[in-house]
Amino acid sequence: MQPVSNNKRIAKNTLFLYIRTIFTMVVSLYTSRIVLATLGVDDFGIYNVVGGIVMFLSFLNTSMAGATQRFLNFEFGKNDMNGVKRVFSNALIIHFIIAFIVVLLAETLGVWFLNSHMNIAPERMTAANYVLQFSIATMVTSIVSVPYNAAIIANEKMSAFAYISIIEVSLKLMLVLLLVYSPVDKLITYSALMFLVSMIIRLLYGWYCKRHFEECRAVKLKVDKTVIMQMMAFSMWTIVGALASIGHGQGISIVMNLFFGVVVNAAYGIANQVNQVVGNFVNNFMTALNPQIIKTYSANQLKEMHILVSRGCRMGFFLVLFFVVPIIIETPALLGLWLKEVPDYTVDFVRLVLVITLFNSFSSPLSAAQGATGNIKNYQIVLTTLGLLHIPLAWLCFVQGLNPNYAMYVYLVIVILEQSFRIIFVSHSISMHIIPFIRNLLLKCGTVCCFSFVVPAILHLYLPNNIVISFSICIIGALSVALFVLIFGIN
C-alpha cells in the first residue's frame, strides 16, 4: 500500500460522502419539519420511543455488523478473495439468524413492554402497536442489508452510498409530502411508508453489490464453521459494547418516557436528528478512513497506522466542531426557524448532545484500531461497564426529581471517561506512544475549540436577536473554526 495512493483514495471517498451528506442533511431537516408538523408532538414522540424498543433489541445486529466489517477489511488487506467470499457468505447466514432472533424478541418482549409499561395515551395504543410492527419489519430489512453495506465500505466504493442515500432521502421526502393527504391514521401511514422506503433501498444495495463485487455474485450459503466461530468470538465482546451503546440511546428514551411522557421523547428525538446530521459529517470521513486503518494493520504497516489514527481523531473533532460552534450558540434561533413548534427541553438537549458528540468524535478511529488487532475483550468489558452506568444513574437522577437534562450530564461524564480508556487500550495494543499522542490531541483540539467560540459568543451576547444576525453569527462561527484549524490544528 502506498501512502499517497491511500490518501487520494480517502480524499476521493470522503468527497463522495460529503456530497451525499450535504444533500441528505438539507432534505432530512426539511422532511423532519414536515413530519413533526403533520404528526404533532405527541405522535412524533410515540414514533421515536416505540421505534426505540426495536432498536434496543437490535444489539446482536450492531455487534455483528462491526465483526462483518472488520473481517471483510482484514481479508481485503491480505488480498485473499477466497477469504472475502467466505466471510461474506457466512455473514449473510449469521444476519438471517439475527433477523429471526430480533423478530422473536420484538414480537414477545417488545409487544409486552409496549402494552404494559409505556407511557402512551390509551387512545393511541392501537396506532403504537402498528408502529411497532412496521418498525420490526424495517429493522429486519436493515439487518439483512448489513453484509452488502459492509462490502461497499470494504471495497471503498463510497459513490454508491452517495447515490443510493440521495435516492433514499428523496423517496422519504416525496412520501412524507403525500402523508398530509392520507385518509388513514397518519402515524400508522408514516410507519408503513418508512418500511416501504427501507425495502426499496435494500433492493438497490443488493443489486449494486451483485453487479460490481465478485464476492456478492452467485453467493453459496455454505456454512464455514471456522469463519463463523471467528466472527462470533469477535462479536461476543462487541455485543456487550452494542448493548451499552443502544442502552444510552434507546434505553434513555424509554426511561424518559416513563418519567416525563412523549413530549420529552419528541424533544429527545429532535436533538438526536440534529446530532445525526452533524455526526454524519464526521462519520463520512471515518467511513473512508477506517478501512485503511484495518488494512494497514493487516499489512503490518504500524507507523502509517499510527498516523492515520492520530489524524482521524483530530480531523473528526474539527469536523464536528465546525457545526457545533454555530449551532450551540444559535440553537434557539435555528430551532425556531426549522420547526413550527419546539417542544420543551429541545434547546438544552440539542446543546448537550452536540457537546457529547464532540468528545465522542475520537471514538471511531480508536475503535477501528483496537478492532483491527482482534484483542477487544478487556477493551469492551471496561467501556461497556462505563456505558451501562448511564441508565441506572439517569434513573436515580429522575427519582430524585431532577429534570431530563441530567441524563445528558451523566452521559457527558461517561463519554469523557470512555475516551480516556480508549486511548490507553489502543496505545498499548498498537505500540503507539501515549504521551505524545495525548499532548498532540489535547493541545491542538483544545486550542482550536477555545479560540473558535470567542468571537461568535461575544457577537451573540451584544448584538440584537433577529434572523439575519443569527445567520451571520453562524457563518462567523463556522469560519472561526476553519481559521483556527488552519492556524493551530494542521501541521
pLDDT tens string 231-271:
877 777 667 666 667 666 677 888 888 898 888 888 888 88
Average pLDDT over residues 351-378: 88
Q: Is the pLDDT of residue 377 over 60?
A: yes
Q: Is the pLDDT of residue 5 over 60?
A: no
pLDDT for 397 equals: 95
Q: Is the pLDDT of residue 3 over 80?
A: no
What ranges do the domains of the chain cover? 3-489
pLDDT tens per residue across span 199-228:
999 899 889 888 888 887 767 777 788 888
- Measured distance CA(118)–CA(40) in Å, rounded: 19
Question: Which residue's C-alpha cell is 466472527?
Answer: 231
- Measured distance CA(163)–CA(132) in Å, rounded: 29
Which of 5-14, 35-44, 269-278, 412-421 has the weakest average pLDDT? 5-14
Q: If DSSP states are collapsed to H, E and C, what string results for the chain?
A: CCHHHHHHHHHHHHHHHHHHHHHHHHHHHHHHHHHHHHHHHHHHHHHHHHHHHHHHCCHHHHHHHHHHHHHHHHHHHCCCHHHHHHHHHHHHHHHHHHHHHHHHHHHHHHHHHHHHHCCCCHHHHHHHHHHHHHHHHHHHHHHHHHHHHHHHHHCCCHHHHHHHHHHHHHHHHHHHHHHCCCCCCHHHHHHHHHHHHHHHHHHHHHHHHHHHCHHHCCCCCCCCHHHHHHHHHHHHHHHHHHHHHHHHHHHHHHHHHHHHCHHHHHHHHHHHHHHHHHHHHHHHHHHHHHHHHHHHHHCCCHHHHHHHHHHHHHHHHHHHHHHHHHHHHCHHHHHHHHCCCCCCCHHHHHHHHHHHHHHHCCHHHHHHHHHHHCCCHHHHHHHHHHHHCHHHHHHHHHHCCCCCHHHHHHHHHHHHHHHHHHHHHHHHHCCCCHHHHHHHHHHHHHHHHHHHHHHHHHHHHHCCCCHHHHHHHHHHHHHHHHHHHHHHHCC
The C-alpha cell of 238 is what? 462487541
Percent of the chain past pLDDT 70, that is, above it, reads: 91
Q: Is the pLDDT of residue 290 over 70?
A: yes
The residues, ordered by sequence, that sit 6+ positions from 190 with a Cβ below 8 Å of its Cβ are 35, 38, 39, 47, 176, 179
Q: How far is CA 256 from CA 48, 358, 406, in A?
A: 12, 23, 11
- Measured distance CA(365)–CA(289) in Å, rounded: 8
Q: Which of 419, 422, 288, 410 shows the shortest CA–CA distance to 358?
A: 419
R_g of the chain computed on alpha carbons: 22
Q: Across the chain, what does the average pLDDT equal?
A: 84
pLDDT for 200 equals: 93
Average pLDDT over residues 315-324: 89
Which of 42-51, 229-238, 365-374 has the weakest average pLDDT? 229-238
Q: Is the pLDDT of residue 316 over 60?
A: yes
pLDDT for 455 equals: 93
Max mean pLDDT among 96-100, 153-157, 251-255 falls in 96-100
pLDDT for 1 equals: 46
Query: Which residue has better confidence, 419 or 59?
Result: 419
pLDDT for 444 equals: 92
Residue 362 CB-half CA count within 13 A: 20
The C-alpha cell of 151 is what? 462490502
Q: Which of 169, 150, 184 shows the shortest CA–CA distance to 32?
A: 169
- Measured distance CA(198)–CA(191) in Å, rounded: 11
- Position 174, amino acid: M
- Measured distance CA(315)–CA(307) in Å, rounded: 12
Q: With bands split at pLDDT 50, 70 and 90, how would you rate the model's confidence at 85?
A: confident
Q: Is the pLDDT of residue 61 over 90?
A: no
Distance of CA 438 to the CA centre of its chain: 25
Q: With bands split at pLDDT 50, 70 and 90, how would you rate the model's confidence at 11?
A: low
Q: Is the pLDDT of residue 454 over 50?
A: yes
**Do 255 and 407 contact (CB within 8 A), yes or no?**
yes
Average pLDDT over residues 476-486: 92
Which of 86-95, 203-212, 249-258, 445-454 has the weakest average pLDDT? 249-258
